[in-house]
Amino acid sequence: MSGGPVRTTSAIRMEGIDKYFGPIAANRGASLDVAPGEIHALVGENGAGKSTLMRILGGLMKPDAGRVEIQGRDVTGWSTNEAIAAGIGIVHQHFMLVPTLTVAENLVLGSEPTRNGVLDYARAAASVQSLSAETGLKVDPARKVADLSVGEAQRVEILKVLFRGAKILVLDEPTAVLSPPEVRELWTVLRGLRDKGDTIVLITHRLDEVVDLSDTITVMRAGTTVARIRTAETTPAEIAKAMVGREVSLSAGKRVAPSAAVESRSNRGLEVRNLAIRGSRGNRVVDGVSFAVRPGEILGIAGVEGNGQTELIEGLAGLREVAEGQILIDAVDITSKRVDERHDEGLSHIPEDRLRRGLILEYSIADNLILGLGKTFTRNYVIEQQAVLTNAGEQISSFDIRPPDAALAARALSGGNQQKVVIAREMSRGFSVLLASQPTRGVDVGAIEFIHQRLLEARAAGKAILLVSAELNEVLALSDRIAVMYRGKFAVVMPASEASEEVLGEYMIGTKKGAA
Amino acid sequence: MSASVTAERKPSRFATAAWRERAEEALLPPLVALLVALICGDLLILSYGQSPLEVYSLLIEGTWGNAYGFGQVLYKATTLTFTGLAVSFGLRAGLFNIGGESQLAAGGFAAALAGLALPGTTPLILALPLCIIAAGAAGGLVGAVPAILKTRFGAHEVIVTIMLNFIVLAFLNWMIAEHLHVPETLHTPEIRAGALPRLADMFPAFHGSAANLAMIVVLAVAIAVWFYLFRTSGGYGLRAVGLQPDAAEYGGISVGRVWLKALTVSGVIAGMGGINYVLGYKHYYEDGFAAGAGFLGIAVALVGRSNPFGVIIAAFFFATLSQGGLAIHAFVPKQMMDVLQAVVILAVAMSVPEVRRVLRGSRRRSDA
C-alpha cells in the first residue's frame, strides 16, 4: 500500500502541515511526497484540504506548522515569487488570463521581451510557437484569449506556467470544464511532459481520471493525509473508500430499466415549445429549443458549458426573460409568470450555483429551508417560528445534513451539506417538475450517491425531471433520454440506452450533428 | 440513509457556537470602536494639558449625572434613533439611504403643517396620530423618489438621495422664508394641536430639558421594525435581498418591489423623527432644525449594526457625546466630541470583518 521510503530526493516533500482559518483546520498534519518525474494525483472530498496544501506549496499561504521541501531544500513559508523561481507552476481552476490580449501577450506578461522599450511581439510569438510545438499544446499565439474555447484557454494556462520555466506543475481540477475529447488531448500532453522529466500534481475528485493517468495517489480526508498509494496497486473503489472513510457505490445505482411510469402521450410534465432566449449581448443563446419531459422521466442535457444550458434553465425557472416560445407545466402556460407563480404551478429548481442563487449564506439552515416556501410557513405575514424549526428538524434528519444544527448559518456548511439543504428544500415543496442543474457539482462522493438516489426516488414518484450536468457519467447513469446542447440548440435527443460517452462527446464538440 | 434519531440532542452545543458567533459579530466592532475612541480621546485631552479622568468624569456628570443632562441625552437620542432606524431599514435591504437629513426635515415640516391646520381643540389622541402620519408621509414621499428612480431607471440611490437633500432642504427653506415664517424669524407659528407633553411636565427634575414623549413613539417604531425584519415574511424577503439579491430572486422575491418598499419606509421612519423637535420640543418648524441628525443616523446605524436595539444603544452613545461636548467645553473644545464621533465611525467601518478574524485566530491558538 504505502509508497515506502523513496530513494531519490523527492520533488516535493511536505510534512506535518497545519493550517488554520480561525477555529477551522484546513490542514492538520497533512503530508505529501511526490517523486520527480511522476504524475501524482491528490484526491479527497471537498474541503479535505487539497487546495490549501497547494496554496502553501505555491507560496500563497504560510503554514502554521510543518515543513516544505523542494528537491531536498527547505522552503517552508516561502513567497509566490520564490516558488515560481524554483519552478513551481500552478494552473488554477479558474482561468487567470487577460481576455483582451492575445495568447502570446498573455504568456509573456510580466517578462515581456522588448526592443527599444517596446514589446517585441515577433520574438514573443516565436518563443510561444516553439514552446507550443515542443509540448504539443497547440494554440495560435496571435489569437485573442476572449475568442478561445475553454479547452484552448486551459492550454494557454498550462503554456503560461511552462513558459516561466515550471518543472513542477500543479493542476487544480483541470477537466472540470472540458469535453471528453479535450480531456484525452490533455492527458496526452501531460504524459508527454512527464516523459520529458517534469513532475505533475493533479488535483481532482474524478476517480476514473486518477486511475487513468497517475503513477501515485495521495488521499486526503478532513485536512490530513490518509493514504499514499501506487496507482497500479489499487482500484477506484479502494480510493473512494479512503476518501470518504466508508464503502461507496460508484455506479450511481445503474438504473432499473426505463420507468414504466412514463406517460408518453399525456400532456403533463414540462413542455417547451420553440424557446429562444437572448444573452447579455443580444445573441440568441438558446435558439429555438422544443422538448417535453413527462412524469416519471429524467431528460438529461449534456453539453460543454456555455452552450446555452444555464440560460435555458434560468429561462424555465423565470430568472431570465424569454424572447420567444412557450413553457408549459402540466399543460398550463407559465411563460410570462413570475418565479413565485411558477412555484405555485409545481416547478421546483435546484440551481447550478448554490452559493449565488440557491442559498442565502448568512441565513440559518432553518431559514434557508423555507426560501421560496414563505406561504407555507406564514400566517398573516408573520413567520411561524415553530413550524420553521419543526420543518428544519425533519429535513435535517431525512437528508442527513451535518452538523445537525438548524440555527447554523449556511455559510458554515461544507459544499455537500449546502447542496443537501438546497435539495431538501426543493424536494419539500409540492412539485411536478424539477429542474436539476449541476446537482452534484463540487460535492463529494458520498453526497453524490445520496443526491442521485433522491433524484431517482423523485422520478419513481412520477416527477418530471430535467437534469443538466457537466458530468457525462451522471447524465448517462440517471437519464431516460439524453439531449446534447450545442450552440443554443439541441444537437440530438436520444434514448439513454443508445448513448455513450464517445457518441455524446462528438455531439458536444459539434463534430457530429443530428436531428433533434 | 442512516438518518440518526439521536440528532435531536446534539444541536445545543452547535447552537451555542452559532449564538456566540452572532453575538461576537454584533458587539465586537462597536466595542472595539469605543476603545479606540477612548484612547484617541485620552491623547487629545492630554494634548490640552488636562487630565482625561477628570474630563471624562465631567462628561458623565454633565450627561448621565443629572436630570437635565440626561433629559437632553434622551431628547437627542430620540431623533438619532429615528434616523438610525431609517438608515438601518435601507441597509438591511442592501440600500444606502443618505437622504435622512431632508426626510427628517420634510417630516418635521409636515408635522407642523398638520398641527397648524388642525383646530386647537383637537384632542391629542386624535391630533398626534394625524401629525405622525403627516410626518411619515412627507418623509416617505422624499424616500419614494430615489426608490422609483432606482427601480425604474437604475439610478443609484446614494446619488439620488444626496442630491435630493439639497433640493428638499432648499424647498423647505423657501417655504419658510417666503410663506410661513413668523416675522423676524425662520420658523412657523406655534402649532395649535398635537403638542406632546414634555418629561418635565411630569417629573420637575427634568426642568429645562427637551425630553418628551416622542421617545415612546420611537421605542414603538424600533420594536415594530425589529418585528417586521425578523418575524415576518416581508422582513425575511427584505433581508434576503440585502444579503443576496440573486438568491432572493431565485426564491421568488421581487427585488424591485423590496427596494421600493425599503427606501420608502426608510423615508417614512426618518420623516417621523421630525415630531421630536416639532411636536415635542419647540412646537413649531424651524429652518435647519435637523442640524445633521439625519446624517448622524448613518453612523448610528453602522455602530448599531442595523439592529433596532443596537441602534437605540448607538443613538444614546452619540447623543451622550454630543451633549457631553457642551459639558466639557470649559476644559477642552467641544469639537473634540466631533473628532471622537469621527473616530468611532471610522473604527466601526474598518473593524467589521477584520476584528473577528483576528480574535478568532488568537483564540484558536490558545486552544491548541
Q: Is the dihedral of CA B122, B124, B128, B129 positive or negative?
A: negative
Q: Is residue B177 part of a domain?
A: yes
Cα–Cα separations (whole angstroms), residue A193 to A92, A300, A365, A457: 18, 36, 46, 45
Q: Is residue B39 part of a domain?
A: no
- State whether B234 and A22 contact (CB < 8 Å): no
Q: Is residue A368 part of a domain?
A: yes
- The residue range of the domain holding B174 is 53-354
Each residue of A396-414: pLDDT tens digit?
Answer: 999 989 888 899 899 888 8
- Residue A275: closest CA among A17, A12, A516: A516
Q: Most B CBs within 10 Å: which of A352, A371, A411, as the mutation test of the B interface?
A: A371
Q: Is residue A249 part of a domain?
A: no
| 3-state SS assignment for residue A81 | helix
Residue B102 maps to which CATH number? 1.10.3470
Mean pLDDT of chain A: 86
| Residues on chain A touching B240 (C-beta within 8 angstroms) | 360, 363, 371
| A450 vs B1, B250, B363: nearest CB | B1
Output the CA torsion B286→B292→B295→B301 (10° steps): -100
Does residue A452 sit in the same domain as residue A311? Answer: yes
Does residue A207 sit in the same domain as residue A306? Answer: no
The 10 Å Cβ neighbour count of residue B363 is 12
> What is the mean pLDDT of the segment spanning B202-223?
93
Whole-number pLDDT of residue B167: 97
Each residue of A188-218: pLDDT tens digit?
Answer: 989 999 999 999 999 886 777 788 889 999 9
Does residue A109 sit in the same domain as residue A156? Answer: yes
- State whether A383 and B231 contact (CB < 8 Å): yes
- Residue A59: closest CA among A32, A90, A37: A90
Q: Is residue B8 part of a domain?
A: no
- State whether A381 and B7 contact (CB < 8 Å): no
**Is B246 in contact with A371 (CB distance < 8 Å)?**
no
Does residue A452 sit in the same domain as residue A510? Answer: yes
Three cell numbers at B186?
425662520
Each residue of A72-99: pLDDT tens digit?
Answer: 999 998 888 899 889 999 988 777 888 8
- The 10 Å CB-count burial string (b at 16+, else e) for A76-96 is eebeeeebbebbbbbbbeebe
Q: Is residue B16 part of a domain?
A: no
Q: Is residue B324 part of a domain?
A: yes
Q: Is residue B251 part of a domain?
A: yes
* Distance of alpha carbon B303 from the chain centroid: 10
ipTM of the complex: 0.84
Whole-number pLDDT of residue B226: 97
DSSP one-letter code for A497: G
Mean pLDDT of chain B: 88
> What is the mean pLDDT of the segment spanning A111-135?
82
**Candidate ranges A179-188, A277-286, B184-193; pick with highest mean pLDDT:** B184-193
Does residue A103 sit in the same domain as residue A229? Answer: yes
Tally the domains of chain B. Answer: 1
Q: Give me the percent of chain A exceeding a pLDDT of 70.
A: 92
Residue A3: pLDDT band with limits 50, 70, 90: very low
Nearest CA distance, A229 vs chain B (angstrom): 30
Q: Is residue A38 part of a domain?
A: yes
Q: Is residue A253 part of a domain?
A: no
Whole-number pLDDT of residue B3: 38
Residue in B with minimal Cα distance to A358: B247
Whole-number pLDDT of residue A171: 92
Does residue A441 sit in the same domain as residue A415? Answer: no
Does residue A16 sit in the same domain as residue A100? Answer: yes
Residue A227 — φ and ψ, nearest 5°?
A: -160, 150
B288 close to A (CB below 8 A): no
Q: Most A CBs within 10 Å: which of B12, B228, B250, B362, as the mutation test of the A interface?
A: B250
| Distance of alpha carbon B211 from alpha carbon B71, whole angstroms | 5
Does residue A92 sit in the same domain as residue A208? Answer: yes
Residue in B with minimal Cα distance to A376: B233
Whole-number pLDDT of residue A23: 66
Nearest CA distance, B317 vs chain A (angstrom): 28
Tally the domains of chain A. Answer: 3
| Distance of alpha carbon A250 from alpha carbon A423, whole angstroms | 21
| Distance of alpha carbon A120 from alpha carbon A122, whole angstroms | 6
| 3-state SS assignment for residue A203 | strand
| Residues on chain A touching B4 (C-beta within 8 angstroms) | 397, 400, 404
Does residue A234 sit in the same domain as residue A307? Answer: no
- State whether B5 and A359 contact (CB < 8 Å): no
Residue A444 maps to which CATH number? 3.40.50.300
Three cell numbers at A346?
409545481
Contacts of A167 (CB under 8 A, 6+ apart): A87, A197, A198, A199
Q: Is residue B5 part of a domain?
A: no
Q: Is residue B231 part of a domain?
A: yes
Domain termination site, one of A385, A410, A429: A429
| Distance of alpha carbon B83 from alpha carbon B99, whole angstroms | 10
Which residue's entry shows cell 493517468? A213
**Is A453 in contact with A227 (CB distance < 8 Å)?**
no
A30 pLDDT higher than 90: yes
Does residue A90 sit in the same domain as residue A158? Answer: yes
Does residue A415 sit in the same domain as residue A505? Answer: no
Does residue A303 sit in the same domain as residue A406? Answer: no
| A383 vs B19, B236, B247: nearest CB | B236
Q: What are residue A466's DSSP bridge partners?
A: A299, A435
- State whether B11 and A404 contact (CB < 8 Å): yes
- The 10 Å CB-count burial string (b at 16+, else e) for B179-218 is ebbeeeeebbeebbbbbbebbbeeeeebeebbbbbbbebb
Each residue of B38-56: pLDDT tens digit?
Answer: 898 899 889 988 899 999 9
- The residue range of the domain holding A63 is 12-244
B23 close to A (CB below 8 A): no
> What is the mean pLDDT of the segment spanning B163-184?
94
Each residue of A131-141: pLDDT tens digit?
Answer: 888 888 888 88
**Is B313 in contact with B304 (CB distance < 8 Å)?**
yes
Each residue of B325-350: pLDDT tens digit?
Answer: 888 888 888 888 888 888 888 877 77
